[in-house]
Amino acid sequence: MEIPVLFRDQRFVVLDKPAGLKVHAGPGGGPSVEDWFPHLSRRKDGPWLAHRLDADTAGCLVVALRKSALLAAQAEFGAGRAEKTYWAVVDGGPQATAGVVDLPLRRVSNAAGWRMEGGPGGDAAVTEWRVRGQAKGMSWLELKPRSGRTHQVRAHCAALGCPIRGDAVYGAGGGRLMLLARAIHLPLDPPLSAEAPVPPHMRGALAQLGG
């Protein structure tokens, strides 16, 4: 498997993770980003995932090549200093052109599985958003999560009344999830910055929306 590299130095690699590929195999096994780690470094320790992306989300994934780099990146994510930008194609669209979703999220499990639900008792979750294009019953949103909750962007788009296309958990499903981790910036010394290209399954929709 060949995963494109968007950024590399002695501390980090930023991969352009394909949609549909898990970051780690987990209990269910199967292919994952971690299968590719031997190609990134021959050191006895590492590499390590500095954060996570959903299997169906494409785009920027930060991998630390050294333990010191891992700890530095985790400190940036934990303190909310990591700047993350997502692009999503959503069904319908919000009534305004920009705004902020401030909705705590908590994990809820049932016989069908689990999902994140908004409301009291959840962990604080805030996402800035703006509309970049609208056409034919869909919108192109740029989203900047200030926190890093599981499924945050997906749950917050649904809370706006415009779930992400292809989202079978928070929307109607019916195709691949149209969510891209477009860019990442960590204000380290030196800084880490990377930007991912639009994946093939999102190009047609974004072209209709002016992308």
Element (H, E) at 19: none
Cβ count within 10 A of residue 147: 15
Closest by alpha carbon to 161, among 203, 129, 136? Answer: 129
3-state DSSP assignment of residue 41? coil
- Catalytic, out of 9, 35, 45, 54: 54
Confirm whether 45 is a catalytic residue.
Answer: no
Residues 193, 201, 54, 84, CA torsion sign: positive
User: For the chain, first and last CA: distance in Å?
Assistant: 28
Instruction: Write out the catalytic residue numbers.
Output: 54
